[in-house]
Amino acid sequence: MKADASHEQRFIADVDAFEFIAHDLERILHAMEAWLAQLSADVHANRLVCPGLKKQGALATQAAAINDVLEQSVLAWARQWHGLQPAQALADTFDDKVLLLVFGKFNAGKSSFCNLIADRFAAHGKAVEYFYLDDGHIVETPERFREGVTETTARMQGVRLAGKLVLVDTPGLHSVTPENAELTQRFTDSADGVLWLTSSTSPGQVQELDELGRELHRNKPLLPVVTRSDVYEEDEIDGEIRKFLRNKTAENRADQEADVATRAKEKLVAMGVNTGLLEAPVSVSAHLAREQQQTQAAMADAGFERLYAALIAVIEPTLAYKRRKQAEVFLHHLEENVMDALCRDVLTSIEALRSSAQEALAVIERQQEQIANAVWRHVAPALPALLDAHSSTRDMKAVLDSLSQSIVESVSREVARHFGDYIVSCAEVRFEDVNGDMDYPRLHAELVKAIRDRIVSLTARAAEQCRASIKELTERAAHLHALLRTSETDLAGLSDRLRSEFD
């Protein structure tokens, strides 16, 4: 390439010279598989078992629901990975080509832009092959993309340039029919980089990027292109007012590009996407380039020299993405289908379980008192009659046995009523410390004190068992939570490693 070659010549020559040598990804793929195996084993080993809770209780039900999700998730992963195979097959069709997704709202000028770039490749004697997708198949066509004022592109279509670069002209994702949606998604999945076309009439409508969220999270380079960067002006020629199109001024373009750059960056930050992959926006006018016969000067004035320079810059990370794509695709599965899904479905449920556990503890506090009161009301009034019944024999053992039995029965009943969600075992009650050799009033008072004392300690022990069961469950839940967070961090580490080792 001559030193004074235009960016256009350089770009086309670069594309022509693309050579794809996929990286040897075996080790990193192996590490990802090991990560998944570890997660599956951890998830299985850390199911939320809770021996102190009855199955039908509220907390146990919540825990069982979490276990269910864990189990279903592990089963779903293999299914989802399998489901990605059609996308993989499509991607294989483009194995040796770079796929750039040309994305933007309807009327953004996507089809016009692609047609012009295709014309330039043709002008340099390179092969230009248009195709569209029909019923999942690629159909070759001699026709260029249709351009129009009304929404024109309703199907996925593409153009292969020099047999090495594919521009995929997408219908704005919102205008895709449901039947087409899956295919569109598959095509989008296969893209190695994204050109986001935004019209200079209202550039930088960054909410459009929401539709690209998945691709951008997948670390694909993004180049914003401000299209239709021209204005109509009126001029008087031979006494007649004529309207003609002219390129926007360099200042105007710079302003718009800076504005788009700022907004796009803010948006990516808000979306949690790495802004390092955002290229500086460039402005072009496909119309003026064409209207002025695509001369070198016209192309430069219309912004295409700068565009080609940006494309040359964007091709590097795009190729890098492509070389590690096999691992990227597996990583996306691990991030999206495995980790994100787990975090979404399980972490929030664990949070909910934790707050239910807090509430349950507060309820136990109240119920402990209610149980004690109810037992007291049941046992205490019967005491005089009990003492009377044994007054002649002064059989203190019989009195105390009867009292013990009555307290244990009553506590068991109330515990079953109030602590029904928990497995609680009631201890025995003993009155060894009560001295029967005293007069009736003192004995009565002594027993009242002893009864109160026993009830309080029995209910406290029952409540303590409930609390211990809750504590055990929340500890297990916290452990599961921490484990998922660790897996998430480990996966992020793998993602960093993939992208730094194979940059």
| Chain contacts with ligand GTP (rule: CB under 6 A) | 104, 106-112, 147-149, 151-153, 171-172, 227-228, 230, 285-287
Bridge partners (DSSP) of residue 167 are 100, 159
Question: CB nearest ligand GTP: which residue?
Answer: 153
Contacts (Cβ under 8 Å, ≥6 apart) of 6 = 296, 299, 300, 305, 308
108 touches which of Mg ion, ligand GTP, none (CB within 5 to 8 A by kind)? ligand GTP
Task: Kindly identify the residues of this chain, within the stretch 77-116, that bind Mg ion according to CB under 5 A.
Answer: 110-111
C-alpha distances (whole Å) from 17 to each of 96, 163, 190 are 12, 10, 21
> Is the CB of 153 or the CB of 285 nearer to Mg ion?
153
149 touches which of Mg ion, ligand GTP, none (CB within 5 to 8 A by kind)? ligand GTP
Each residue of 183-197: b (16+ CB within 10 Å) or e? bbebbbbbbbbbbbb
> Is the CB of 146 or the CB of 485 nearer to Mg ion?
146
Bridge partners (DSSP) of residue 247 are 230
241 touches which of ligand GTP, Mg ion, none (CB within 5 to 8 A by kind)? none
Nearest to 247 by CA among 196, 197, 201, 303: 303
Distance, in Å, from the CA atom of 447 to the CA atom of 429, rounded to the nearest integer, reads: 13
CB of 170 vs Mg ion, minimal distance in Å: 9
> Is the CB of 107 or the CB of 337 nearer to Mg ion?
107
Task: Kindly identify the residues of this chain, within the stretch 133-152, that bind Mg ion according to CB under 5 A.
Answer: 152
Q: Is 188 in the site for Mg ion (CB under 5 A)?
A: no
Identify whether the C-beta of residue 315 lies closer than 8 Å to the C-beta of residue 339: no
Opening angle at CA 346, ends 345 and 349, nearest 5 = 95
Bridge partners (DSSP) of residue 226 are 198, 283
CB of 136 vs ligand GTP, minimal distance in Å: 21
> Is the CB of 285 or the CB of 349 nearer to ligand GTP?
285
> Is the CB of 148 or the CB of 420 nearer to Mg ion?
148
> Is the CB of 25 or the CB of 118 nearer to ligand GTP?
118
Distance, in Å, from the CA atom of 117 to the CA atom of 112, rounded to the nearest integer, reads: 9
> Is the CB of 149 or the CB of 237 nearer to ligand GTP?
149
Q: Which H or E run contains 240?
A: strand 240-247
CB of 181 vs Mg ion, minimal distance in Å: 18
Contacts (Cβ under 8 Å, ≥6 apart) of 324 = 22, 23, 25, 498, 499, 502
67 touches which of Mg ion, ligand GTP, none (CB within 5 to 8 A by kind)? none
Distance, in Å, from the CA atom of 443 to the CA atom of 453, rounded to the nearest integer, reads: 15
Which of 153, 184, 256, 487: binder of Mg ion (CB under 5 A)?
Answer: 153
285 touches which of Mg ion, ligand GTP, none (CB within 5 to 8 A by kind)? ligand GTP
Distance, in Å, from the CA atom of 359 to the CA atom of 365, rounded to the nearest integer, reads: 10
Q: Is 349 in the site for Mg ion (CB under 5 A)?
A: no
> Is the CB of 107 or the CB of 487 nearer to ligand GTP?
107
Distance, in Å, from the CA atom of 355 to the CA atom of 334, rounded to the nearest integer, reads: 29
CB of 265 vs ligand GTP, minimal distance in Å: 24
Residues making contact with Mg ion (CB under 5 A): 110-111, 152-153
